[in-house]
Structure 1
Amino acid sequence: MNTNKKGKKKLARKLLHKYRLVILNEDTFEERFAVKLTRLNVFVILSLSTIILIALTTILIAFTPLREYIPGYSSTALKKQAIELSKKTDSLQQVITINEQYFASIKRVLEGDVNTVIFNKDSIIKAAELDVSEINLNPSREDSLLREKVDKEDKYNLFESATAASNFVLFPPVTGTISQLYNAEEKHYAVDIVVAKDTPIKATADGTVVLAEWTTQTGYVIILDHGNGLLSAYKHNASLTKTQGDLVKTGEVIAISGNTGELTSGPHLHFELWKDGYPINPSTFIDFE
């Protein structure tokens, strides 16, 4: 026990033993600076200095732009650009998905893949049995205001809409003999024009190519979007001169006539017109002969 106490006292004396740090002028040996120190003071000062240095370095790296120069840290500008690009990519993906659905629906309609509407017989009978006297047929205030607004728009836009419609002219894609007329009852929503093989097929109006590909039944098909819900389709072509996304002018050659596809019996053009998703008779607007 005495030995341990002596050892502790000796260590305490070493730690608390005072030293004098003196700075002298080398030439005159004049004392410029002097301070009393102990081993314990030196250890405490060095420890505090190390802690403060580490803290300042951490703060400097965490809260200043200097961290961008340290390997492994990403730039703030790069992070901002990455976020903006991610948002734009997501928006473009949504637009692409909507366009693909739109083109797929157009393709199904033009190929005649239209599902028959299924009616619920029970609901129709139930609706027919309703007493008309029990139904409130008086228009609401909102309905009356809407009707008045629509009447005013029709009144003042009559001549403007008539002028726009009269200026819209469709160009015949080809001239020839009509072998089969438009017949909605037989689901033949087109006009078939007999032409010589390799006859140039021209755009009926200005527009954008929304579909240009090969199908088993109708061969090479090209579809143009003319705006305002108007589409034109050209089928059974031997080849196409335009691709999807191209802009075309009225009368510009977009395909070469042929006899491709299963549903054909000779060189001809199968020409369709669609307005707002409904087929219309091309002969009403175009003279093919």
Structure 2
Amino acid sequence: MKHKQRRLFDRLKKKFQLTIFNESTLESLFSLRVSWLDGILLFLSIFVILFFLSFFLIRYTPVGAFMPPYMDVSVRNRLVEHAYKVDSLTGVVNKQTAYIDVVKGIISGDISTDSLDEEGHQIPIDTLANHHLSLMKATKREESFRKEYEEQEKFNLSTLNGNSNTNVLLFYPPVKGEVVGLFDPRVRQFGVDVKVSDRQAVLSVLAGTVIYAGYDPDFRYVIQVQHAGDYVSVYKYTTELLKKPGDLVKAGEALAMVGKVSGSTEQPHLYFELWQRGIAQNPVELVLF
């Protein structure tokens, strides 16, 4: 066996002379002594060089982008990341489009935020609350609270049982400030405008339960509280909400903050409404500002 291997190795090492002649003159142009082993080594060297050259082109040049099975992992990750970003941006655009449609509806009059119907009758406060809620998507907790509240309303005329005699109710002023806009239902002014300092807490006029707290395109942050005696107080143009629907509050407890809005030259103020059984009341007659 060893003898045969020796003979094979000797044959591979056996030298041959490779000569190139000029056909016309038979002059030797090139001569080279080679063996089968030299040819095999030359072939392997060319193969290795071509392999590494192909690997370099696929791995480090744009040529690899045309060969999906060898796509760079980082490129694939960037493609997935960009796909997620496009999907997220699509969702944002859809939300902004819906918001713009609501604003257009308010401007054109298709969506009314007035407190009077077309015949001039008072719209109940719960209808107004439901309308405000329709301008923004309610959370699951708000939906659960609203359903529970509506079930209770089927059997009760008021949310809180209490004495409806206004003489026994002491209304706290919601803010400290100057009343600059008076109550006048004839021009659909169902509350009063109170000019306030740069930043101030908005207080609940009576003890009660928060029935709505959210953002309105026209009145910024709005919060509504149900009180004893079928009273509902409404606080508009606040800059920060401190309570959420379902929270129980005491008389004089902070509900929100009001103050100057960054980038706005408008004087900070609070628009305060007080309703009883769906009828707007004059806050100046009940609250000492």
Please tell me the TM-score bracket, short chain as reference.
0.3 to 0.5
